[in-house]
């Protein structure tokens, strides 16, 4: 549906698009189960890769900005000697491509298992929120760096001899490059650049792997929360907070008490604002500033009974009129009352 | 059964005004001694204990102890139907599920009768130990009300310091700070306005003003109020009436004292 505006030409084209959507093989890097924990998918080594043959590797990310769905890091590598062959396959920045063109390019990548190896790490929205919201904040850049480092490490560990690494970055490239050079002294050339996906075909290929995987996971999102599959719309839009479709989804699918399902990154400002304005307020007693107000019943004895008698009463299953069983502490603390007699 | 006739019905009206903001439901424990009530507020921070002794009623009859569970908001609504000078009679059978109230005007030519449904209330009864307080301040109840209201503008808590010179109420908040000191006075001419201090030991304690202001709803019941304090013991704010009392207990705030 999102393509209607763009494909203003032929109906034929539109229907063929639909076929590509429903009929196209899903990338192997997607998942069929609920995405709670982040995972890595990696292809096997290119079949034509000789032992210790020098390789180049590109790193790119997809889904950093969106408030919905996973963030995916992709790497793609091939022998240094076959660099030109890769360029001939025609990669460009994944963001400038339409979805079907990207799907096709992933198929191109997958059609050359002799030449290209790739892997993706899919970071679940829950992991992203948890990282960003935990007490010692772990920001998105640190998460990006660590994920990239992990993917490169795993590639090296699988026996690929990396000579050159090209990384697309959002933050300042210089410090990031220095950091990677320090961690991977064996790699001769490390290039961290902004918009690396439009400059280096290998980064572009990595961006395709990442983007196609993200789109697939989002499109086939499996809700971990039971019973919401039917009630929650799948009209996510692009997932970017600037997309009116996404904003509409966020507004429509919020539970005033439970908030959002795990597809949403709770750490995003958009989400926080919506929860604060439209959700039910929560009062955390421990957050109240100033001196603590103790309970009166903590300072006055419950009654004059001995501890033993109290215990007996507490554990007795028989309640009598004269000595009612004490209410559970939680009920007392929250000032909850029985509304129904059992 | 219970039968209690109160010559000054206004007393009951004032009592209800004094507790209904803190407590929604409570048991009136009736015995041959009189009518008593003890309940914690909903957040279990304050405790109210009141007693109307039997000799405050004419006549008073209670053969067997009875606990009358009452919704205080409803009772206060019914009591609003009584005139200030009306004589109020409370009646309840031992097995009854209603409390009947009769209001007679002074000319005895208008009698109104109401019945209030009773409820089963599951209440915790707290044992209040007899405490020898470090400081007992007796002062004008109107003055106490004014101080609490004035300081509430500044903060939600008040620091009460008692020394042999006097008692100081101080509050500090975002917009500034303020303090009111009352000196111990032997003003015999104006006994109602004097401030008397019995002191074993200086005290300095911090209390929630919201609760204190709530307690001052009892001001119409007595011209005098007494504040009894010891550290780590609940504050006792007592308003004495001719035949009984209303007592409020509030735990001091702990930590971070300014």
Confidence of residue A253 (pLDDT cuts 50, 70, 90): confident
The stretch A331-339 carries a mean pLDDT of 72
The closest CB to that of B251, out of A295, A302, A335, belongs to A295
Indicate the range of A287-296, B86-95, B243-252 predicted with least confidence: A287-296
Same domain as A204, residue A309: no
A 297-336 residues with CB < 8 A to B? 297-304, 324, 326-327, 332-333, 335
Same domain as A299, residue A183: no
Q: How many residues does chain B have?
A: 258
- Is there a contact between B250 and A296 (Cβ–Cβ < 8 Å)? yes
Residues 6+ apart with CB under 8 A from B225: B138, B139, B140, B141, B144, B218, B219, B237, B238, B239
Q: Is the pLDDT of residue A18 over 70?
A: no
Closest-CA residue to A76 (of A35, A37, A29, A34): A29
Token pair belonging to A341: 């007699």
Closest-CA residue to A253 (of A236, A268, A238, A237): A236
Contacts of B129 in chain A (CB under 8 A): 300-301
Cβ B40–A296 below 8 Å, yes or no?
A: yes
A239, part of any domain: no
A268, part of any domain: no
Residue A177 is predicted with a pLDDT of 92
A71, part of any domain: yes
Q: B142 - beta bridge partners? A: none
Same domain as A181, residue A57: yes
Same domain as A178, residue A325: no
Q: B127 to chain A, minimum CA–CA distance in Å?
A: 5
Same domain as A300, residue A189: no
Q: Angle at the Cα of A63 (from A60 to A64), degrees rounded to 5?
A: 80
Q: What are phi and psi of B173, to 5 degrees?
A: -145, -165
Same domain as A186, residue A303: no
The closest CB to that of A324, out of B122, B233, B249, belongs to B122
Same domain as A204, residue A67: yes
Q: Which residues of A are annotated as a binding site for a divalent metal cation?
A: 60-61, 168
Highest mean pLDDT among A108-112, B52-56, B128-132: B52-56
Token pair belonging to A305: 């009974």
The closest CB to that of A297, out of B124, B129, B156, belongs to B124
Residue burial B37-71, b: 16+ Cβ < 10 Å; e: rest: bbbbbeebbbbbbbbbbbebbeebebeeebbbbbb
Same domain as A215, residue A328: no
Contacts of B47 in chain A (CB under 8 A): 296-297, 300
Same domain as A202, residue A75: yes
Other CB atoms within 10 Å distance of the CB of residue A143: 19
A321, part of any domain: yes
Contacts of A298 in chain B (CB under 8 A): 251
* B226, B231, B232, B233: CA torsion to nearest 10: -20
A306, part of any domain: yes
Residue B187 is predicted with a pLDDT of 61
Contacts of A293 in chain B (CB under 8 A): 45, 208, 251, 253
The closest CB to that of B255, out of A291, A299, A332, belongs to A291
Same domain as A213, residue A315: no
- Is there a contact between A286 and A293 (Cβ–Cβ < 8 Å)? no
Q: Is the pLDDT of residue A108 over 70?
A: yes
A256, part of any domain: no
Token pair belonging to A166: 């090209």
Q: What are phi and psi of A237, to 5 degrees?
A: 70, -155
Residue matched to tokens 């109107």 = B142
Phi-psi category of residue A105: left, alpha or beta, with phi > 0 → left and psi -120 to 50 → alpha: alpha
Domain boundary pick from A162, A196, A219 = A219
Cβ A298–B157 below 8 Å, yes or no?
A: no
Cβ A299–B43 below 8 Å, yes or no?
A: no
The Cα B217–Cα B141 span in angstroms is: 10
Contacts of A303 in chain B (CB under 8 A): 125-127
What are the angstrom distances between the C-alpha of B9 and each of B15, B34, B220? 10, 16, 14
The more confidently predicted of residues B19 and A268 is: B19
Q: B67 - beta bridge partners? A: B29
- Is there a contact between A94 and A208 (Cβ–Cβ < 8 Å)? yes
Q: Is the pLDDT of residue A319 over 70?
A: no
Indicate the range of A168-172, A179-183, B151-155, B224-228 predicted with least confidence: A168-172
Domain count, chain A: 2
Same domain as A318, residue A184: no
Element (DSSP H or E) covering residue A193:
strand A189-193
Mapping DSSP to helix (H, G, I), strand (E, B) and coil, where does residue A296 land?
Answer: helix
Nearest C-alpha in A relative to B126 = A302
A181, part of any domain: yes
State the CATH number of the domain containing residue A37: 3.30.420.10
The stretch A143-168 carries a mean pLDDT of 93
Mutation target vs B (from A294, A304, A329; most B CBs, 10 A cutoff): A294
Q: Is the pLDDT of residue A77 over 90?
A: yes
DSSP string, B104-129: E-TTS--EEEEEEE------PPPB--
A286, part of any domain: no
Indicate the range of A114-118, A228-232, A318-322, B163-167 predicted with least confidence: A318-322
Mutation target vs B (from A283, A286, A295, A296; most B CBs, 10 A cutoff): A296
Cβ B42–A304 below 8 Å, yes or no?
A: no
Residues 6+ apart with CB under 8 A from B189: none
Cβ A303–B125 below 8 Å, yes or no?
A: yes
The more confidently predicted of residues B99 and A97 is: B99
Confidence of residue A161 (pLDDT cuts 50, 70, 90): very high
Same domain as A171, residue A299: no
Residue B211 is predicted with a pLDDT of 95
DSSP string, A262-274: TTB-TTSHHHHHH
Domain boundary pick from A161, A195, A219 = A219
A294–B contact, CB cutoff 8 A: yes
A244–B contact, CB cutoff 8 A: no
Mapping DSSP to helix (H, G, I), strand (E, B) and coil, where does residue A72 land?
Answer: strand
Confidence of residue B74 (pLDDT cuts 50, 70, 90): very high
Contacts of B252 in chain A (CB under 8 A): 294
Q: What domain range includes position A327?
A: 292-333
Q: A316 to chain B, minimum CA–CA distance in Å?
A: 17
The Cα A260–Cα B199 span in angstroms is: 59
Indicate the range of A86-100, A117-131, B115-129, B149-163 predicted with least confidence: A86-100
Domain boundary pick from A187, A219, A251 = A219
pLDDT digits (tens, 9 = 90+) for A201-239: 899 899 989 999 999 999 889 888 887 877 788 888 888
């Amino acid at each position: 549906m999102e393509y209607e505006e763009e494909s203003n030409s032929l109906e034929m084209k539109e229907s063929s698009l639909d076929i590509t959507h429903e009929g196209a093989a899903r990338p192997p890097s997607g998942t069929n189960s609920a995405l709670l924990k982040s995972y890595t998918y990696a292809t096997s080594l290119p079949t034509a890769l000789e032992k210790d043959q020098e390789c180049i590797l590109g790193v790119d990310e997809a889904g950093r900005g969106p408030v919905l769905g996973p963030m995916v890091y992709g790497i793609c590598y091939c022998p240094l000697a076959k660099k030109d062959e890769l360029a001939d396959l025609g990669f460009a920045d994944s963001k400038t491509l339409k979805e079907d063109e990207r799907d096709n390019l992933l198929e191109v990548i997958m059609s050359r298992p002799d030449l290209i190896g790739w892997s993706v790490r899919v970071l679940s929205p829950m992991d992203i929120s948890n990282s960003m919201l935990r007490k010692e904040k772990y920001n998105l850049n640190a998460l990006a760096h660590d994920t990239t480092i992990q993917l490169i490490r795993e590639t090296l560990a699988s026996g690929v001899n990396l000579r050159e690494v090209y990384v697309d970055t959002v933050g300042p490239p210089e410090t990031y490059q220095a950091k990677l050079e320090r961690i991977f002294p064996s790699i001769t050339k490390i290039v961290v650049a902004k918009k690396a996906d439009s400059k280096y075909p290998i980064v572009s290929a990595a961006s395709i792997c990442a983007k196609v995987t993200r789109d697939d996971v989002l499109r086939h999102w499996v809700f971990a929360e039971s019973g919401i599959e039917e009630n929650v719309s799948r009209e996510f839009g692009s997932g970017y907070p600037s997309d009116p479709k996404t904003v509409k989804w966020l507004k429509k699918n919020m539970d005033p008490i439970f908030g959002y399902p795990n597809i949403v990154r709770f750490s995003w400002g958009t989400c926080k604002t919506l929860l604060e304005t439209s959700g039910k307020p929560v009062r955390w007693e421990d957050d109240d500033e100033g001196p603590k107000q103790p309970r009166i019943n903590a300072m006055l004895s419950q009654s004059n009974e001995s501890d033993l008698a109290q215990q007996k009463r507490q554990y007795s299953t028989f309640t009598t009129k004269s000595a009612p069983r004490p209410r559970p502490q939680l009920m007392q603390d929250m000032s909850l009352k029985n509304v129904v007699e059992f | 059964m219970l039968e209690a006739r109160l010559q000054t019905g206004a007393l009951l009206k004032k009592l209800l005004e004094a507790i209904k903001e803190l407590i929604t439901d409570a048991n009136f424990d009736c015995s041959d001694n009189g009518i008593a009530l003890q309940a914690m507020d909903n957040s279990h921070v304050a405790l109210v204990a009141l007693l109307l002794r039997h000799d405050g009623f004419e006549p008073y009859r209670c053969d067997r102890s009875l606990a009358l569970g009452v919704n205080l908001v409803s009772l206060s609504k019914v009591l609003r139907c009584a005139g200030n000078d009306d004589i109020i009679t409370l009646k309840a059978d031992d097995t009854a599920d209603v409390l009947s109230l009769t209001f007679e005007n002074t000319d005895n030519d208008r009698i109104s009768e109401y019945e209030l449904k009773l409820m089963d209330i599951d209440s915790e009864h707290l044992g209040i130990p007899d405490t020898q307080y470090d400081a007992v301040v007796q002062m004008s109840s109107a003055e106490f009300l004014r101080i609490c209201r004035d300081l509430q503008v500044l903060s939600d808590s008040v620091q009460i310091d008692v020394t042999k010179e006097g008692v100081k109420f101080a509050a500090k908040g975002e917009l500034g700070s303020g303090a009111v000191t009352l000196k111990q006075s032997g003003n015999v001419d104006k006994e109602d306005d004097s401030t008397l201090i019995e002191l074993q030991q200086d005290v300095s304690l911090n209390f929630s003003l919201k609760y204190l202001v709530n307690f001052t709803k009892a001001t119409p019941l007595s011209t005098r109020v007494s504040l009894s304090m010891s550290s780590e013991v609940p504050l006792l704010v007592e308003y004495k009436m001719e035949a009984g009392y209303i007592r409020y207990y509030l735990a001091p705030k702990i930590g971070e004292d300014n």
